[in-house]
């Protein structure tokens, strides 16, 4: 089996890194800021150049942290941000994006996502995304937490330019494998997996630890490698510690054997039928 590629081709022909950095809960505690900045910058040094944030995270505090971390390195970063559903009307999407740009201290966002589906018509949000692309404020757009029926509605609303769907997907959350992931692959829409280590809860699982021991790896590396081996799936683990960031980066070099995958399938069975998409 070949190792995961370093980047995933998006429907536009552009690429996004296969392994990035999440920032949920980062930037909210001043006492942790130095370590959080060091962790993000360590990730950039290790070619984990995709950084994901959102206006919701710390009410903009995460965006400000990211903006500080990437000073002088904007050209190296694939920046992902998200608009709240309550701001997703045509007019408010544009305003929210420009507020995010100001907090980030940048002139464009590479990939801008609707954080989850809300009350505003999808067609309005799609129109706003198109306006932002045309203005150069964003490079591409996508969605987050969209289940199969949401994706179908999105295409009917004119959302054929959707670049990705960011979803909760990991060894313990395999529901998307039954119908959502096949549909996304059919439509050549890559997945971005958030909480790929289940907010740390996978670290103590005995079967994951057993696979990790066979490779002299960590449980986090196994969980990430399991995702990345599938192709067309990116992962955005969060870290506030430079050493943990380095461990995450090394997951790209972990080649799981078929016996490892079988052991993980036995411990975390794939879905036997459709399941609602889970969210955190």
pLDDT in tens, the chain (280 residues): 234 468 999 988 889 999 999 999 999 999 999 999 999 999 999 999 999 999 999 999 999 999 999 999 999 999 999 999 999 999 999 999 999 999 999 999 999 999 999 999 999 999 999 999 999 999 999 999 999 999 999 999 999 999 999 999 999 999 999 999 999 999 999 999 999 999 989 998 999 999 999 999 999 999 999 999 998 999 999 999 999 999 999 999 999 999 999 999 999 999 999 999 999 9
pTM beyond 0.85, yes or no: yes
pLDDT of 198? 93
CA distances from 60 to 64, 212, 223 (A): 6, 36, 29
Q: Has 57 been annotated as catalytic?
A: yes
258 neighbors 162 (Cβ within 8 angstroms)? no
How big is the chain, counted in residues?
A: 280
Residue in 25, 57, 112, 149 annotated catalytic: 57
54 neighbors 82 (Cβ within 8 angstroms)? yes
For residue 260, which phi and psi values (nearest 5 degrees)? -65, -45
The residues with which 111 forms a beta bridge, in sequence order, are: 80, 140
pLDDT of 5? 64
Helix (H), strand (E) counts: the chain:
10, 10
pLDDT of 11? 87
């Amino acid at each position: 089996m070949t190792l995961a590629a370093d980047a995933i081709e998006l429907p536009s022909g552009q690429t996004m890194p296969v392994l990035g950095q999440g920032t949920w809960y980062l930037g909210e505690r001043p006492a942790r800021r130095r370590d959080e900045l060091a962790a993000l910058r360590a990730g950039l040094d290790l070619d984990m150049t995709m950084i994901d944030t959102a206006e919701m995270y710390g009410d903009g505090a995460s965006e400000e942290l990211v903006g500080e971390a990437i000073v002088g390195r904007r050209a190296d970063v694939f920046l992902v941000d998200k608009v709240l559903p309550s701001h997703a009307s045509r007019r408010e999407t544009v305003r929210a994006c420009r507020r995010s740009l100001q907090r980030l201290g940048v002139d464009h966002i590479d990939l801008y996502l609707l954080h989850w589906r809300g009350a505003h018509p999808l067609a309005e949000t799609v129109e706003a995304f198109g306006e932002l692309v045309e203005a150069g404020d964003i490079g591409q757009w996508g969605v987050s937490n969209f289940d199969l029926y949401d994706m179908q509605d999105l295409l009917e609303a004119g959302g054929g330019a959707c670049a990705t769907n960011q979803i909760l997907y990991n060894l313990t959350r395999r529901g998307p494998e039954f119908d959502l992931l096949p549909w996304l692959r059919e439509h050549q829409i890559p997945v971005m997996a958030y909480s790929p280590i289940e907010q740390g809860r996978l670290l103590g699982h005995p079967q994951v630890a057993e696979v990790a021991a066979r490779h002299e790896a960590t449980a986090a590396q196994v969980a990430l490698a399991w995702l990345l081996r599938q192709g067309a799936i990116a992962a955005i683990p969060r870290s506030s510690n430079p050493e943990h960031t380095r461990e995450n980066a090394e997951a790209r070099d972990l080649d799981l054997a078929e016996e490892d995958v079988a052991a993980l399938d036995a411990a975390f069975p794939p879905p036997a039928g459709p399941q609602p998409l889970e969210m955190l």
